[in-house]
Structure 1
């Protein structure tokens, strides 16, 4: 593989070794196996996610990227027949212990979905509602403004806060959903292909926002866009699927390492577009 041309095409951000600081593990997956009924969706996934880094999950359709992502805040619990074996640790706490409340998990590990899904309420209420449900006792006007500012949306909507959120453009709706997630003050934000339904300009805004948000949050993003993974992520996990349609983690490295010097041939073939 011509790594020079690949780096140019993917606009890969390089960092010198001297700029690297010790990283804190915030999430650990230890031999995670996920099943939907009798179907073995993901097998033996183990990895560490680092605080204030962007981690991208890439791989062909059906390889278990979104399944693994949803396991991190127990969204798979909502799917009938879904089971998990192994451990998912968040700051050392096993999220699948019986004593753990998944609702509390989702306050600390928020999620942004592929298709923007604002509530059919005002822009203001989209931000305030979740915080209110979670017992927020501070200044709601300040919370709404701060959340929208962090989502790079305030200047566009500050005079339209009573307007129905469904009147916003697709890109604005997605940033509103990010602001809504921020408002409940999570530590981690999961993003399941957050820009796949958006045009290139809106996609660029989301990517810029991700790079800004990692200063305050840990972000994990599922994406089919190799350029996007290279532009926004610090670490990349490449998932594959075996002959039984079971997903598995093929390779997990710093993004620069994985894109320019992958260990496995399948990784090289995928990121160079030979299949996908």
Structure 2
């Protein structure tokens, strides 16, 4: 194997691991991927089509990791929540309502993603620096909140507000998990429920994006030429997403969001400084 081929494989493995690690935690994976490509000079092969295929595959790997970690919650919602439609058992009403809230929370990001996706994707490094600072400030503001509302205490208004926060997080640098968790905790929702709702909300948005993108992926020549590097990136993203989410769940349980807030607030100005000095 030639040195150039080895470099290509290592580059895609690194980017897959990098995206996977940053996906679950509230520092914006899309923003950090853009930063890595800009400051490390790491370019994806295949032009726009190659970048699109890479992003789709690594996001799909993160989705599988989320499905695996939350499989018990998904099964509970599927059996009891959907079962409520037939049985009308009052004990299952909470799960049914939670499914409705997930569907409502998905709508804003789905609509804005379809209408403005091309414009959002054009974010610059400077924009990421600014939005990282916004993410950090938002995390700092809710760092000490300890809500007391669980799944049964959520409302349609909560779902709409959290869904709008997820839509805002389509902008690179605004963390999706961070935005939804901040919105949920600001509404008085318990951090465990906020975390669960955030990542269950990630599932329909990701699945929808995959379905809409399948035809583009199949017709993309970059996939046929780079399937081995893509496979490495996929595997790296899956492993990193799984362990990163497990780690983040532990941090959320301890209420240590201040670390992520400090990171984002510090990194944003550093990026601006580096851009100025370039």
The TM-score bracket by the shorter chain reads under 0.3
TM-score, with length taken from structure 2: 0.28
Kindly indicate which of the two structures has a greater share of residues assigned to strand.
1
Kindly indicate which of the two structures has a greater share of residues assigned to helix.
2
